[in-house]
Structure 1
Amino acid sequence: MSRIQCPRCLRPQSHCLCPLIPSLDSRTRVLLLQHPSEVNHALNTARLAALGLNNAELIVGEVFENLPVLLNRPGYTARLLFPGEAAQPMKAYGSSDESMLLVVPDGTWRKARKMLHLNPLLAALPRVTLAEGGVSRYRLRKAPGPGALSTVEAIVQALETLEAPTSFAPLLKPFEVLIEGQIAAMGEEVYLRNHSEK
């Protein structure tokens, strides 16, 4: 028998996060392109970000046929949040008056690269990167390297850089509760054995 699911946050009704999800305004428009394999992931942080930001849109797929329409929003300059040789640091845009359309691929690094390969228009976008040294609160998954953040954490850091001094920290509240719930479900002993720093 399957558990009843909240239609909004997609969590089991007994663990619904909706009361914790904020409703935040941003000058920056966030376009989340989520790989299909992430939709049913227990932590689905892209969905949390999309629900908490009024100026955000979440689209699931690998190939995005309507990408030209999605990227050409009047009044917005599209930038891809993804590392690369020519990527500019996000802080370079912090004092800019132009409104950014921040395009965020959501998936493992391998799947995100595949999405760029399958969508040449996406791969051709000018890239921006976050400041180095960000520490993830995502204590359940080993980061592939320093500065590797979950999707919601990356969006919060990007928006706080672009729209300082505005705080987007409330977006992290449901994420933190979700992490705590996962740790509680596995039990502290299992968590410490498998996820604590060695």
Structure 2
Amino acid sequence: MSRIQCPRCLRPHSHCLCPLIPSIDSRTRVLLLQHPSEVNHALNTARLAALGLNNAELIVGEVFEDLPALLNQSGYRARLLFPADDAQPLQAYTETEEPLLLVVPDGTWRKARKMLHLNPLLAGLPRVTLAEGGVSRYRLRKAPGPGALSTVEAIVQALQILEAPVSFEPLLKPFEALIEGQIAAMGEETFQRNHGPR
């Protein structure tokens, strides 16, 4: 028998995160393109980001038929937050008149690359990148490399750069509560054995 879920945050009612989810305005519009395999993931951080940002939209899929309309939103310049040799640092956009439409693929690196491959319009967007050396608070997962962040962490870092001095840290509150809940459920001993310092 499955537990009753909150229809908003998709967590079991007993672990609902909605009271911790902020409601933050941003000049930057965030478009999250989520791979279907992430929807039911216990740590669905893209959903948390979309719920906490008033100027964000979350779309689930692998191929996005309405991508032209999504990317050509009046008053915004679309940029893909994804690494590439020619990706520009987000700091280059802090003084621009026209706000960004920050397009963020959500999935494993392999699945995100597949989404780009299946959506040439997406792959063709100019890319932007975060400053190197970001440290993830995602203590339950081994990062694939230095600077690897969860989706919500990457969005917070991007918005902190683009919209300083506005703070987007409140977006991380439900994320941190989610991690603490997972650690509590597995027990400190199991957490230390599997995720503690080596």
**Superposition TM-score tier, normalisation by shorter sequence:** over 0.9
Following superposition, the deviation at residue 192 of structure 1 comes to 0.2
SS at match of 1:2: coil
1:83 corresponding residue in structure 2 = 83
Quick one: distance in 1 between partners of 2:7 and 2:92? 39
Amino acid across the alignment from 2:97: D
Quick one: distance in 2 between partners of 1:7 and 1:44? 14
Following superposition, the deviation at residue 95 of structure 1 comes to 1.9
Tell me if 1:119 matches 2:119: yes
Quick one: distance in 2 between partners of 1:154 and 1:136? 9
Alignment of 1:37-186 (within 5 A): 37-186=37-186
Q: Which runs of 4+ in 1 moved over 4 A?
A: none
Quick one: distance in 2 between partners of 1:12 and 1:94? 39
Q: Which stretches in structure 1 are left out of the alignment for 5+ residues?
A: none
Quick one: distance in 2 between partners of 1:85 and 1:113? 15
> What are the superposed Cα offsets for residues 33-59 of structure 1, whole Å, 9 maximum, x if unpaired?
000000000000000000000000000
Quick one: distance in 2 between partners of 1:153 and 1:145? 15
Following superposition, the deviation at residue 96 of structure 1 comes to 1.6
SS at match of 1:176: helix
TM-score (norm 1): 0.99
Following superposition, the deviation at residue 173 of structure 1 comes to 0.2
Tell me if 1:33 matches 2:33: yes
Quick one: distance in 2 between partners of 1:193 and 1:178? 20
Following superposition, the deviation at residue 97 of structure 1 comes to 2.0
Amino acid across the alignment from 1:138: Y
Following superposition, the deviation at residue 85 of structure 1 comes to 1.1
Amino acid across the alignment from 2:90: M
Over the residues paired in the alignment, what is the CA RMSD in angstroms? 0.4
> What are the superposed Cα offsets for residues 78-132 of structure 1, whole Å, 9 maximum, x if unpaired?
0000000110001111122211000000000000000000000000000000000
TM-score (norm 2): 0.99
Q: Which stretches in structure 2 are left out of the alignment for 5+ residues?
A: none
> What are the superposed Cα offsets for residues 12-39 of structure 1, whole Å, 9 maximum, x if unpaired?
0000000000000000000000000000
SS at match of 1:63: coil
Quick one: distance in 2 between partners of 1:138 and 1:106? 15
